[in-house]
Structure 1
Amino acid sequence: MRALLALAGSLAIVACQPAADATETIVAAPAAERTARETGGLKTAVFAGGCFWGVEGVFSHVRGVKSAVAGYHGGTERQARYDLVSSGITDHAEAVRVTYDPAVVRYDELVRIFFSVVADPTLKNRQGPDVGAHYRTALIPTSAEQLAVAKAYLAQMESSGQWRGPIVADIERAQAFFPAESKHQDFIVRYPGNAYVKRWDLPKIAALKRLYPAQYSARFQRG
């Protein structure tokens, strides 16, 4: 265990770091053919797609989102620590738990936004400069309705021809979600001058505003 902790400490410094040779693609994802039908108040879903700072940042600017919390999905509570998860030695994925009002924004609309400006569904175990299974891209539904929408949308993306490669984004069974350390919450508004935030996250928010102006909120919804 001591050796694993030493490895985690040495590798954590490369987590969520800007890389000059990495790129990200903004795609105007198609509107969902299978729309979500959710009633009865606020709903929650989990999204994994690279470093959680940007995932949280985008969803915190979506109208109808009441909370976006950065955290770790899967794995164990004991290992749900940034230094361990970002080293790649655990089974967690960096993820964001989104609480939203389906009367304002539907789950399928959140999924569309996610694959338009947050995560490239053709990349396996990486996004932008971040590489490793803990940066995998996955929809993590928390209800049967969300699962049906997620399955239909991945199939629709595959047949749409709007991405150059095959769709490798996955659907994961909802497991335990562990909120990340407080310093990782609301990261982009707390550290707007951070090099990673400026290079990778602020362009995603600008793309959200450009592609989905009706769903963009200038106000950052703190988690």
Structure 2
Amino acid sequence: MTAVCDIPGASLAIERSHFPDPAFDPAAAATVHEQTAVLAGGCFWCTEAVFRELDGVLGVTSGYSGDSADNATYEQVCSGGTDHAEAIAIRFDPHRISYGQLLKVFFAVAHDPTQVDRQGADRGRQYRSAIFHADAAQREIAAAYIHQLDAAKVFDAPIATGVVPLEAFHDAERYHQNYAALHPEQPYIAAVAAPKVAKLRKQFGEILKQKA
């Protein structure tokens, strides 16, 4: 990751005080108490930091998705020689926070979905925007929301986020997990992750975890 990451393409939507809710976001069955969402939106240090803040999120793991286990290492992924994206696996209680609400945060705060194979100064296919859906329900919610946001022209450019089947998720190396919280003084974290978390706290305070 580079030390500077701006997201100018998202400025219009991110500054709006009322980012639209998903119009299609059906409730999970009463018998379902945990689900997983796998999202890719650039540096996983930053996206992980955002989603750890949300009430109903049970855990977030940084990792890689899009290619095989054989090349799921940070060195190989950063080389650009794999088809992995830096991704996060979000375990959540769908009765406390819905899949659609997670996608709202993903599009409104976590990254710029209009950029192709990059996030600001971070360039390469590993930094692409993608939703790795686990089933037909997740695919339908994601596709409907992207269509809704594009039709409403929420962003200055079309959404480039891929909606693709989740083949596998590979955990990143241990030192990447919860990286932003453990290294707040790191320049990249201070410049990129911290402002996203601050924006989340300002715009989505009603769905954040309550501090003890």
Q: Which residue of 2 aligns with 1:172?
A: 164
User: Residues of 1 paired with 2:50 and 2:192: CA distance?
Assistant: 11
Deviations 1:109-167 (A, max 9, x none): 00000001112111111112211111100111112211110010010011111211111
Residue 105, structure 1, aligned to residue 97, structure 2: yes
**Structure 1: segments with no counterpart, 5+ residues:** 1-15
Residue 38, structure 1, aligned to residue 28, structure 2: yes
Q: Which residue of 2 aligns with 1:123?
A: 115
Q: Which residue of 1 aligns with 2:75?
A: 83
Residue 183, structure 1, aligned to residue 175, structure 2: yes
Q: Which amino acid aligns with 1:89?
A: G
Q: Which residue of 1 aligns with 2:185?
A: 193
Secondary structure of 1:172's match? Answer: strand
Q: Which amino acid aligns with 1:111?
A: L
Deviations 1:62-93 (A, max 9, x none): 11000100000021212111011011111101
Q: 2:154 aligns with which of 150, 162, 165?
A: 162
Q: Which residue of 1 aligns with 2:3?
A: 18
Contact 2:7 2:111 (C-alpha < 8 Å) held by counterparts: no
Aligned-pair identity in percent equals 33
Runs of 4+ in structure 1 over 6 Å off: none
User: Residues of 2 paired with 1:61 and 1:128: CA distance?
Assistant: 23
User: Residues of 1 paired with 2:210 and 2:114: CA distance?
Assistant: 29
User: Residues of 1 paired with 2:177 and 2:194: CA distance?
Assistant: 16
Residue 74, structure 1, aligned to residue 66, structure 2: yes
The number of aligned residues is 204
Q: In the superposition, relative to structure 1, how do residues 115 and 50 fare at CA in structure 2: closer, same or farther (>3 Å)?
A: same
Secondary structure of 1:116's match? Answer: helix
Secondary structure of 2:72's match? Answer: coil
Q: Which amino acid aligns with 2:4?
A: A
Contact 2:55 2:210 (C-alpha < 8 Å) held by counterparts: no
User: Residues of 2 paired with 1:87 and 1:190: CA distance?
Assistant: 25
Contact 1:61 1:218 (C-alpha < 8 Å) held by counterparts: no
Q: Which residue of 2 aligns with 1:144?
A: 136
User: Residues of 1 paired with 2:58 and 2:20: CA distance?
Assistant: 25
User: Residues of 2 paired with 1:145 and 1:166: CA distance?
Assistant: 23
Contact 2:7 2:112 (C-alpha < 8 Å) held by counterparts: no
Residue 215, structure 1, aligned to residue 207, structure 2: yes
Secondary structure of 1:151's match? Answer: helix
User: So what's the TM-score if we normalise by structure 1?
Assistant: 0.87
Contact 1:48 1:138 (C-alpha < 8 Å) held by counterparts: yes
